[in-house]
Amino acid sequence: MKIRGIFSNRSARYGTHMLITILIVLGILVLIGAISVRHHWRFDLTKTKRHSLSDETIKVLNSVNKEVNAIAFYQENSGSEGELKDFLKLYKYKNPKFNYRFIDPDRNPTLAKKYGITDYGTTVFESGKNEARVSWGREEQITNAILKVIREGKKVVYLLKGHGENDIATFAKDGYSQAKKALEGQNYEVKELVLLRADSIPENASVLIISSPKKELMESEMKLIKGYIEKGGGLLFLIDPLTVPGLTSFLEEYNLKLRDDIVVDTMSQLFGGDYLIPIVGQYEPHSITRNFNVTTFFPFTRSIEIIKKAKAGITAEPLANTNKESWGETDRKMLEKEGKAKFDSGKDTRGPLTIAAVVTVQTGEKKNEKGGRKNSKMVVFGDSDFANNSYLNVLGNKDLFLNTLNWLAEEEGLISIRPKDTDYNPVILSKAMGKAIFFVPVLIIPAMILVAGIVVLSVKRWKK
């Protein structure tokens, strides 16, 4: 009995020690897990750092000191949200004040309606009352959206009024209410401006839009616009054919000539469109069209000629061009009365034709942060209908319109992130290597383990 008691006490002590040891190990594991939730490290071992954020983005995230929320509207289990989700995880890892969630608009139509979501792949960024949106976001788009929503105040876009311009208040097909909504979705404040009642263009005007005036501007108004350009302002001209020759003469001072024609594009009929609605898929290299590979439509547009004899301090360059099958039709009577168009080599201009151009003017009136000259920026389109309620949401029209406004308002230049190389290095296997990869893990290694087990078992039996 005494011997049994000794062994029993030893077993109890051994069991107690084991239990304490197990509890200590479990406690350490739980503590490590709890610490790793708040303090963990990630390592990107890829050659091009494909799974890391750029230094520019990290600087932006380090400056975020208030909550930023992102709501991504994607179909559940569609697989299309994977890349964005990986990006947003990195943003969250770098700054816990950044939060995100994914919503299926089909399963949560109320929330989708609240945010006015009409397309899958839209991500809404919010901070306080500020809001910005991106589609199928890349790092550059995401970071710029964060910069917009954390910025105090809004930039103001003015639309000239008083000459029959497109109306931002009307929902008619030729109105600009959708354009206003799109600008407000980018965190701009949109206002109308009657220059006849003003002494100057407001100081807070980031961009002035002149959209298809039907009547000529007064000389006093033209002086105010010219003064705005000299002070480094941003202007968007949307000038339809057969209108306001006064503005045509004004733009010639900035190396642009609006031709007195109407662009005809027979290729449009292949896409079910009218030959007076040119299709544009050719864009010149520019910040506005960087990574822009979407077709745009320009109904009833005129062409623009870059004046070769450039004036000092003024740079004019094409932005968007029609295809080589198009031409600038000058015979209005044939178009209006017969509804036909025919290329006349003596009068008409063969495509490709420029229908959108960019102008920069060195002013010297203001200086930027680096001490250099602040240039005035202008973008001129030979058409205003591409941004109206009927055509704004057709293919890439809205994106081109918003890209243009962002460039003019100097929003596009907030941050520019070079896309990371994919570093695609395929491994090419010979037939023998392929067989080896199959047989070694599938047959040989399991066979070796089986043989080793048989040997060990045989040795044990032999010793017995």
Reply yes or no on whether the pLDDT at 88 is more than 80.
Answer: yes
213-228 pLDDT, tens per residue? Answer: 999 999 999 999 999 9
pLDDT at 111: 93
pLDDT (tens digit per residue) in 400-417: 998 899 899 987 655 545
What's the pLDDT tens digit per position in 413-463? Answer: 555 454 554 454 555 666 677 677 767 777 777 778 777 777 777 776 676
Q: What is the pLDDT of residue 34?
A: 65
The whole-number average pLDDT for the span 57-84 is 87
* pLDDT band for position 190 (cuts 50, 70, 90): very high
pLDDT at 212 over 80: yes
Q: Average the pLDDT over each of 52-56, 84-88, 262-266, 285-289 and give the range with the smallest value.
A: 52-56
Is residue 29 predicted with pLDDT exceeding 60?
yes
Look at residue 284 in the predicted model and tell me its pLDDT. Answer: 93
pLDDT of residue 369: 45
Kind and range of the H or E run holding 296: strand 296-297
Cα torsion 264, 269, 272, 273 to 10°: value is: 10
For residue 13, the model assigns a pLDDT of 64
* pLDDT band with cut points at 50, 70 and 90 for residue 37: low
b/e per residue 389-409 (b: at least 16 CB within 10 A): bbbbeeebbbbbbbbbbbbbb
Tell me the pTM: 0.67
CB 284, CB 320: distance < 8 Å = yes
| Residue 101 backbone phi and psi in degrees, to 5 | -155, 155
Q: What would be the CATH architecture of the domain defined by 55-143?
A: 3-Layer(aba) Sandwich (3.40)
Using CA atoms, how far residue 361 sits from 242, 263, 311, in Å, is 27, 28, 10
CATH number of the domain located at residue range(s) 156-326+352-414 in this protein = 3.40.50.880
- Say what the pLDDT of residue 371 is: 43
The Cβ of residue 341 has, within 10 Å, a number of other Cβ atoms equal to 19
Taking CA 316 as the corner, what is the angle to CA 315 and CA 321, rounded to the nearest 5 degrees? 150
The rounded distance, in Å, linking the Cα atoms of 122 and 451 is: 58
Is the per-residue pLDDT at 382 higher than 80? yes
Distance CA 400, CA 387 (A): 9
Q: Each residue of 320-338: pLDDT tens digit? A: 999 988 889 888 777 776 6
Confidence of residue 86 (pLDDT cuts 50, 70, 90): confident
The predicted pLDDT at position 97 comes to: 93
Q: How far is 13 from 9, CA to CA, in rounded Å?
A: 6
Share above pLDDT 90 across residues of the chain, in percent, rounded to a whole number: 38
Strands 205-211, 234-238: pairing is parallel
